[in-house]
Amino acid sequence: MSPRASIAAAVFALAASPAFAYDYPTADRVQFVLECMYRNGGSSVYVYKCSCVIDAIAQKFSYDDWVNASTIARYQTMPGEGMGLFRDAPEERAAAKRYREAESDAKKMCGVPK
């Protein structure tokens, strides 16, 4: 097999890999890791641990589902009548609960306390 064919086959195999099925934009992964590091004192040791968390979450949620569920989970904790939209509907409560459970499991697995 020629070198070009080998490279093309490798690229095709990687592109078809399930690891890429739930890939998130780099900027969103970085933002998640930076926020996670900040919550845990800003130590550089959390670069790898927080990256582990977002990788574990990405295995359970497509990018769009993650955006929706994490947004709902964040807004449910905000006070006010307007935020009732995120607290009252059963679908939103279920999505936020599923996200919080996935995030909690990932943090335990990756050694991230907060």
Q: Could you read off the pLDDT of 52-88 as tens digits, one per residue? A: 999 999 999 999 999 999 999 998 888 777 676 666 7
Give the domain ranges of the chain: 24-110
Mapped onto helix, strand or coil, the DSSP state of residue 17 is coil
Distance CA 36, CA 106 (A): 12
pLDDT tier for residue 17 given thresholds of 50, 70 and 90: very low
For residues 61-96, one letter each, b for 16 or more C-beta atoms within 10 angstroms of the residue's C-beta and e for the rest, the string is: beeeebebbbebbebbeeeeeeeeebeeeeebeebb
The predicted pLDDT at position 88 comes to: 72
State pTM to two decimals. Answer: 0.76
Listed in sequence order, the residues at least 6 apart from 3 whose beta carbon sits closer than 8 Å to its beta carbon are none
Q: What is the mean pLDDT of the chain?
A: 83
